Structure 1
Amino acid sequence: MPRPLAITMGDPAGIGPEIIAKAFRDAPAVLAGCVVVGDVATLRRAARLIAGTDALVLPLAQLDKVADWQAAPPRCIPVLQTCELPALAAFGQVSALAGKAAADCIVWAARAALSGEIAAMVTAPIHKEALALAGAGFARFPGHTELLQAEAAAYAGKAVADMPVRMMLANDELKTVLVSIHLSLRDAISSVTFDNVLQTLQIAHASVRGVAGGAPRIGVAGLNPHAGEGGLFGREEIDTIAPAIAAARAQGLNVSGPFAPDTVFMRARAKSGHAGEFDVVVAMYHDQGLIPVKYLGVEQGVNVTLGLPMVRTSPDHGTAFDIAGKGSADASSLIAAIRMARQLSA
């Protein structure tokens, strides 16, 4: 690989550093060509944590610059110090210092990805409350997606509104793209507009590969029960969603719907090696789209930010403060996110 993949450490009080260390230990072939951007002491603690008392501790290689990644010895964790953390963060505790350290790592990786210094970025989980405490520069961002959108827009010299992004959650069985992300349910319903739905369809079409490698077959979930039942349970499908679908189809997109939200995900699910009816489902709001994918297995889910001029993936789970420091966190979703980032950046 001419350029490495960067893995941001996530909130140092959560399970991010631990699952990174486990991924390097358990899947060295997948992690080849990856560099961790974070705090060296935090990653060293994670390596000791997963080793226990009798096992060999996975060594760290501290890099002076990301270009040194190829000189790192095999079977180690290459770490580039990209944040300041005066002391190790207490496991499971929200803090401004931990939030700031996590945010600084994200910003470094985003700018490196945008400039082409790294091939892609994979982000370990952050805690949104800690991010909000990290200072005025970060408090306005609800999460990774919005922060990365702002960085990409600034790099391109555009307004944030001119850099539309969407969240996709994916595993081997189901992919779903969201019209809105981190909004209250009331605000999410209000965001189901013709322009937002059409833009989501366009981003999904441009970003997702179909089962045969071509344009994707997109199924669209309705907003209301039974997709409105002809207007009996709401008119959003008639007045907003269906016209957006018609406009997308007029542009040549393979879009169908709106379908009842309680069945469209089952129709799209790939099972036993057989493709589903759709390659991706466009969902109207956060929980509508994420619950079906997470139900199929959080350990294999991958979050992908679509619409950015760079590749960003992340595991399909949070910081898990309740188990941080116990050595029991599962690295499977992080490993899946690294695999997908490699595929998308190839």
Structure 2
Amino acid sequence: MPAEPPKLLDQVRRALRVKHYAIRTEEAYIQWIKRYILFHDKRHPSEMNIPEIEAFFTHLAVHDQVTASTQNQALAALLFLYRQVLHQELERPIDAVRAKAPQRLPTVLSRAEVQAVLAQLQEPYQVMAHLMYGAGLRLMECVRLRVKDVDFAQRQITVRSGKGNRDRVTLLPDRVKEPLQRQLRIAQALHHNDLEQGYGRVYLPNALARKYPNAEYDWIWQYVFPAERRSSDPRTGIVRRHHVDESGLQKAMKRAAQLASVPKHVTCHTLRHSFATHLLEDGYDIRTIQELLGHSDVKTTMIYTHVLNRGGRGVRSPLDG
């Protein structure tokens, strides 16, 4: 009996893994493709094209009222499906109702508010928050940080595969050196214990495990902030020590802001916004800040010029004389 061809979603997963997409991206794309198929009463995507895609996207914008970024992610998932899995070209450009991207300014904390929030955190979350504020790291860049990418001698951190799959170098604050070294000693003791028990492997990206067979056991490849427990890799079933779950840090940040009585909507990303704004206040040029943040376009960085603590674009109110 000839083997049955793999199911569509299995084909999508295989194509995503061949191209080394992140597991979060894989999960998101699978969910969007499922929604697209269910929206059209389980018709196979190969039987559909632009009209069905446009109807789906119009529904997302008008009925579900999704954000522009969410709609863009759905579009990326369907384009991947048609081009990389079905090898089917779209008949024409997509013409559907598009969600409008809101023009919102980021929430920024004052320096005093930042210190008040940081003071309410416990380790390891406090040192992680210090890195997000002191080095401008994104949440996932912080939790995915590996031992080899922290350079105490050069006072720098190398961010690997950041947004847009780009590497960059940012600063390592002096204030965080001592608590970070303590965290590394804790992580190293955990790694040694794993090795003694026959474990000690860590996930390596982009097939590095095949190129360097023993690297997944090496200390330098381990996560700076490892999870408390070992877990099974959802793709391979291999038991490894993954990085700490980001949800714990998110909850700790929310709680810290409440304890510090900061009357703002504070998230982990608020610390990165504050990092950029405070550097601008200190007189650093926009290009330097762009490089530290890893923005591909300086226009993205320019938004922080609008949130400097000067009120009304620097205009002095007539009420103040």
- TM-score tier by shorter-chain length is under 0.3
**Which has a greater percent of strand?**
1
**Which has a greater percent of helix?**
2
Higher RCO (C-alpha 8 Å, min separation 6): 1
Q: TM-score, normalised by structure 2?
A: 0.21
Q: TM-score, normalised by structure 1?
A: 0.20
